[in-house]
Structures are given as structure tokens and as C-alpha cells.
Structure 1
Amino acid sequence: MVLAKVIGSVWATKKEEALSGSKLLITRVFEPDTSKELDIIVACDYIGAGIGDIVIITSGSGARNAQGDKDMLPIDAVIVGIVDQVDLNK
């Protein structure tokens, strides 16, 4: 899992049928201890995240199974949490 900030959204009128109704958000992964910005990931959002939110993203088989028994979803990343606060012990 990684932490990322939602920076935009993707609109796709034509997409794989299994993605119908899915909200796609553009996120930028960052290191929580340095705030260094890393990769940009497009992630499915089923929990209602919005632009500016800090979110938790999971990828791979965890992402495909995030919605229960939909094991054939063609996704690689999904938002599984909206972060309220991050505390680091340095």
C-alpha cells in the first residue's frame, strides 16, 4: 500500500464493461516522511475520495479483489482509505 494525494480525475466514455460505474482518479504517490513526490497512479475509487484528499492505495491482486468477488476486474490500483492524519515517530 502507498499514500497518495488525489490531483485529478479521468473521464472515459468508452471503457471496459467491467469498469462501468467506476470513478477513476489521478493520484500522486509521496513519501510521508519527506513529502517527496513520486509516481502518478490512476486508481479506481469506490469510497468517495475527492481532489486534495490523501488516500491509501493498494495494487495488484488486492486491488482486483477490493470489491468482493469481482476477481476479473481489469484494474491494478484502488483507493481503499481516505487518510485523516499521519503521525511519524522520527
Structure 2
Amino acid sequence: MLAAKLVDNIWATRKIESLNGLKLMLAEVIEEVGEGQRLIVVDLIGAGIGDRVIICQGSSAGRIFEENVLPIDAAVIGIIDDDCKF
């Protein structure tokens, strides 16, 4: 898992059918390892720009949807509380 900050929305008017209805966002890693790296993530919990979030990557991200395994590499799985310090 990674800690990241959501920095923008991603809009893709043309994409595969299984991604329709999913909210895509641009996240910037804020941990020392990988800091500054940017990822496109699927937001499943309603986080917004500026939120610090927890991201899972790899096959775990695609398995979040129990009925289907989707072709996603990163997903927001939590919002970090404001009083947490790294």
C-alpha cells in the first residue's frame, strides 16, 4: 500500500466498457520511497482533490470488485485522517 495525495481528476471519454462509471483521479505518492511519482487511480470511496489517501496496487486493486476482476492497477481504499503525521 502507498500513501498519496489526490491532485486532479482524469477524464477519459473513450475507454473499455468495464471502466464506465468509475471515477479516475491523478495521485502523487507522498512516502519517501517513490515520493513524487504520479499514478492514475480508481476512487471507490468518494475522496476528493487534496485528500491524502491509502492506495493499493497491482492485482489486489483489480479484485476489489467481487463480481469482476477489472483491468486497474491502483485503487483508493482509504482517506487518511488530517491529524495523522508521517
The runs of at least 4 aligned residues of structure 1 exceeding 4 Å deviation read none
Q: Distance in 2 between matches of 1:2 and 1:67?
A: 20
* Matched residue count: 84
Superposition pairs for residues 48-59 of structure 1, below 5 Å? Answer: 48-59=46-57
- Is 1:2 aligned with 2:6? no
Letter in 1 for 2:52: I
Task: Note the residue ranges of structure 2 that are not aligned, 5 or more in a row.
Answer: none
Q: Spell out, residue by residue over 1:24-81, the C-alpha distance to the aligned partner (whole angstroms, 9 max, x if none).
A: 00000012xx6x832100000110010000000001111001122322x110000000
CA RMSD between the two structures: 1.6
More off after superposition, 6-15 vs 60-69: 60-69
Task: Note the residue ranges of structure 1 that are not aligned, 5 or more in a row.
Answer: none
Superposition pairs for residues 1-80 of structure 1, below 5 Å? Answer: 1-31=1-31, 37-71=35-69, 73-80=70-77
Q: Distance in 1 between matches of 2:16 and 2:44?
A: 17
Letter in 2 for 1:75: I
The TM-score with structure 1 as length reference comes to 0.85
User: Match of 2:61, SS?
Assistant: helix
Q: Distance in 1 between matches of 2:27 and 2:85?
A: 21
The TM-score with structure 2 as length reference comes to 0.89
User: Match of 2:36, SS?
Assistant: strand
